[in-house]
A = this chain, B = another copy of it.
């Protein structure tokens, strides 16, 4: 059965596609590791065809894609829209150049903020989806990840946002710094996470000194890898929450992210007296892309 359209989430590391039926039903799903980071300019169309060819019929199928695929280093640049504005608008979609006549590929633009300077690509689609799934939501959306985003949304628009390199810092420190020696495995220690989080929120200026203490305590005080990993996570999420406090303090909060990560952020916010509602990240991505498919410009 030929899909009505195809939804694509194309980031730096992964390519995910969904064959969409009428009324937002997902007919099929496929994914590969052909993220933007691995592709040269002319590699995007073959990578997409490699994944979705079984879904294509005789005529033209519309593909709507969000994420780094629309960056300057991606398939084709979809220029940023500037906040304050709605998270997505079909009039901002850019048609990617294609050789295969069966494809009509539209790329969603990201958002930029002029001052303080900030950018997002992909998260705007999740934000649009979150607003579609929770109509009338006014407050703050937190999208934890490699580059965590905090966005203030009001009356259907993104008013302002701020990015934190928390996930990337965790990966660099736990896999590539001297701290990696005491971080093996995947164990977890809630108490160590909570304590590091609370310490960092109350004394953020101590963050740089606290990082090396993970190595020193591993060497001379028997700190376990599980406690070290959890403390590192608590330190980094703690300094993010300290910086993002003007966003979340006293606001309704929704978290969009992978299950375990979103749960860690919810726990951290709870410890600060803030309740957060968790939304599934893939649900938000699909709901966001669907808002574009419903707008007439998307099928021009």
Q: Which residues of A contact B (CB under 8 A)?
A: 80, 112-114, 116-119, 147, 162-166, 168-169, 172-173, 176-179, 204-209, 211-213, 215-217, 219-221, 223, 236, 239-240, 242-245
Contacts and interface: CB of A to CB of B under 8 A. Distances in A.
A145 to B, nearest CB: 12
Nearest to A217: B117
Greatest chain B CB density within 10 A among A80, A117, A169, A213 is at A117
Contact of A172 (B162, B173, B207, B219): B173
B166 A177 contact: no
Given A166-B208, A208-B239, 20 more contacts: A116-B216, A117-B217, A118-B212, A118-B213, A118-B216, A119-B216, A119-B220, A147-B212, A164-B208, A164-B211, A164-B212, A165-B208, A165-B211, A165-B212, A172-B177, A205-B239, A205-B245, A207-B243, A208-B240, A209-B244
A284 B189 CA distance: 42
A268 to B, nearest CB: 14
B208 A205 contact: no
A277 B80 CA distance: 49
| Identical subunits present | 2
5 contacts: A117-B213, A117-B219, A165-B179, A172-B172, A206-B243
Contacts of A118: 212-213, 216
- The 4 A-B pairs of least Cβ separation, nearest first, read A205-B242, A204-B205, A117-B216, A163-B212
A212 B223 CA distance: 31
Contacts of A116: 209, 213, 216
A99 to B, nearest CB: 29
Nearest to A162: B209
A116 B165 CA distance: 27
A209 B119 contact: no
A216 B163 contact: yes
Contacts of A239: 205, 207-208
Contacts of A219: 112, 117, 119
A270 to B, nearest CB: 20
Nearest to A201: B205
Contact of A163 (B209, B240, B245): B209
Nearest to A240: B208
B177 A165 contact: yes
A163 B206 CA distance: 11
Contacts of A208: 164-166, 169, 236, 239-240, 242-243
Contacts of A165: 177-179, 208, 211-212
